[in-house]
Amino acid sequence: MLTSFIFDLDGVIVFTDRYHYLGWKQLADEEGWRFDETLNHQLRGVSRMRSLEIILEHNGLRFSEEEKKAFTDRKNGYYQSLLDSIGPDDLYPGAIDFVKQVRARDVRTALGSSSRNAQRVLEALQIDALFEAVVTGHDLTRTKPDPQIFQLCAERLGGVAPAECVVFEDAESGIAAALAAGMHAVGVGDAEQLPNADQVITDYAEIDLDTLIATGRIR
């Protein structure tokens, strides 16, 4: 029986992907780097620094750690400015109602996001109270696919056993992290992009919540 649900943020609760894309695109355009939506897809679920390194590798470029830090700081500044326009239209359809239904069944809820801006997004959308525990990039020393993020979520929920947790993730690195933690993994999005997820949904209405809690299966 599942007692705890853990949610990624980007692409699972809210769509901030386009803001990240626009932030990286602005930096890339200013620096004359090649960057498009296909490359942007490779950045899902990984840290800001690793995202920059993927872009640099794609362009055959190398910089010092100090220079890379300056680039990521610039991108984050662009991203934070873009977040000023975030609103209810950016929420994943049905996600908030689903989390409320989960809470109504006395199931624990946590949010695990590698983004260092996750708390700001939750507060801007006024949904922070839906999650009993929140783990963000500020808390991590290792990023997905390492399971640390979801292990910390379970710890902050009172030491919940991994087998009692289900993780909702939209990136393959996040699915890998959930499975490495010994948790159930539900992919959110394109099944072809999430081949290792236990199950995949595109709509929260596909889930029979009572069945999921009781068996770990969505229906």
Q: Is the dihedral of CA 185, 125, 158, 141 positive or negative?
A: positive
CB-CB contact of 12 with 88 (8 Å): no
Which one is catalytic: 10, 90, 170, 198? Answer: 10
3-state class of 111 per DSSP? strand
| CB crowding 172-208: b at 16 or more within 10 Å, else e | bbbbbbbbbbebbbbbbbeeeebeebbbbbeebeebe
Catalytic: 146?
no
Q: Alpha-carbon distance 129 to 135, whole Å?
A: 14
Select which of 8, 90, 170, 198 is catalytic: 8
- Our answer to whether residue 10 is catalytic in this structure is yes
Q: Which residues are catalytic?
A: 8, 10
